[in-house]
């Protein structure tokens, strides 16, 4: 699969950097895959899964990853650090690349960006979606205690914002430690930290204040496209039951739990992640027998039509 890099300007003047991979297939069953990284990450967080997706037998015809505004190589403006604006950036990306029938894959806050996109712009250009380890509400509420384990109210948000402002390096080190339970290549871990350091601390602070307060529970039952939910059983960021609630609320969705992986399950088990995503993007459902064998019985019965 060949690859190229590019950039474009959003409708509010922010330059976004992206990378494309092209494959040889063009059947109607194929779907371009767009990878949307999470808060404080970058497109480089997908390095291993990007390569694995290109190596899959059913790799997508087009594969896209990009740096969110305020992250990676994209612009760090003084405005636009709220999830709805990020959804508009995603809309502008799809328009710029003239993509249709896409499978959107969001990790952590990337899920919220996709939910916001679907709420504001609809699903006309979207074939399917994959949501990776994100609860529908991060903050605690009277009827909800399955949100973030670390940032869930005004006090915990204030502590995080102070760390971003006064010791960004300490935040960066703790971020890696808090999202990985299994060892990865030390050089890759250093790369992840370097990519986080490229982000705007001020932008991250403003963005988290918006993101952590958004409650997506009313929207999720209105989603009608095929959806796959991936949860890390060892996630230090969300309780697995909080992530499973996304799958429960979205009609007809399928939930897969990565039994031994953390929040960055797409890094810790990138081969399984790529296999699931490629299968789902091509078929709008999971068809791989080895994958089906590991699903919970409720999901397996639904997929098999029982």
How many C-beta atoms surround the C-beta of residue 124 within 10 A?
Answer: 7
- Residue 76 half-sphere exposure toward CB, CA atoms < 13 A: 16
Burial of 118 per CB tally in 10 Å (0-12, 13-18, 19+): buried
pLDDT in tens, the chain (306 residues): 567 999 999 999 999 999 999 766 555 557 899 999 999 999 999 999 999 999 888 888 899 999 999 999 999 999 999 999 999 999 999 999 999 999 999 999 999 999 999 999 999 999 999 999 999 999 999 999 999 999 999 999 999 999 999 999 999 999 999 999 999 999 999 999 999 999 999 999 999 999 999 999 999 999 999 999 999 999 999 999 999 999 999 999 999 999 999 999 999 999 999 999 999 999 999 997 555 555 554 444 444 333
Which letter does DSSP use for residue 220 in this model? G
- pLDDT value of position 42: 98
- pLDDT value of position 96: 97
> Residues 62, 26: contact at Cβ < 8 Å?
no
- pLDDT value of position 56: 87
Residues contacting 36, CB < 8 A, separation 6+:
66, 68, 90, 104, 105, 106, 107, 110, 113, 114
> Residues 75, 14: contact at Cβ < 8 Å?
yes
- pLDDT value of position 22: 76
Residues contacting 80, CB < 8 A, separation 6+:
12, 14, 69, 70, 86, 89
């Amino acid at each position: 699969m060949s690859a190229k890099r590019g950039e474009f300007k959003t409708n509010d003047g922010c330059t976004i950097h992206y990378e494309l991979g092209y494959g040889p297939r063009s059947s109607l069953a194929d779907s371009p895959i767009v990878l949307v990284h999470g808060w404080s990450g970058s497109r480089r967080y997908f390095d291993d899964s990007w390569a694995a997706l290109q190596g899959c037998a059913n790799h997508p015809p087009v594969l896209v990853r990009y740096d969110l505004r305020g992250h990676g190589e994209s612009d760090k403006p003084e405005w636009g650090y709220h999830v709805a604006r990020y959804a508009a950036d995603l809309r502008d990306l799809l328009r710029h690349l003239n993509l249709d029938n896409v499978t959107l894959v969001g990790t952590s806050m990337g899920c919220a960006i996709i939910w916001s996109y679907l709420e504001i712009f609809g699903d006309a250009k979207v074939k399917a979606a994959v949501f990776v380890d994100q609860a529908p509400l991060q903050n605690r509420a009277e009827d909800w205690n399955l949100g973030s384990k670390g940032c869930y109210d005004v006090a915990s948000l204030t502590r995080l914002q102070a760390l971003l402002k006064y010791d960004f390096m300490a935040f960066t080190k703790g971020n890696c430690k808090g999202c990985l339970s299994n060892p990865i290549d030390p050089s890759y871990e250093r790369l992840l930290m370097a990519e986080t350091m490229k982000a705007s601390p001020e932008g991250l602070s403003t963005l988290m204040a918006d993101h952590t307060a958004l409650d997506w529970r009313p929207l999720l039952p209105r989603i009608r496209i095929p959806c796959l939910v991936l949860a890390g059983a060892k996630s230090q960021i969300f309780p697995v039951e909080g992530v499973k609630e996304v799958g429960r609320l979205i009609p007809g969705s399928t939930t897969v739990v990565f039994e031994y992986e953390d929040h960055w399950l797409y890094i810790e088990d990138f081969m399984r992640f790529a296999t699931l995503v490629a299968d789902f993007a091509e078929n709008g459902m999971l068809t791989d027998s080895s994958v089906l064998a590991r699903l919970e019985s409720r999901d397996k019965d639904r997929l098999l039509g029982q």
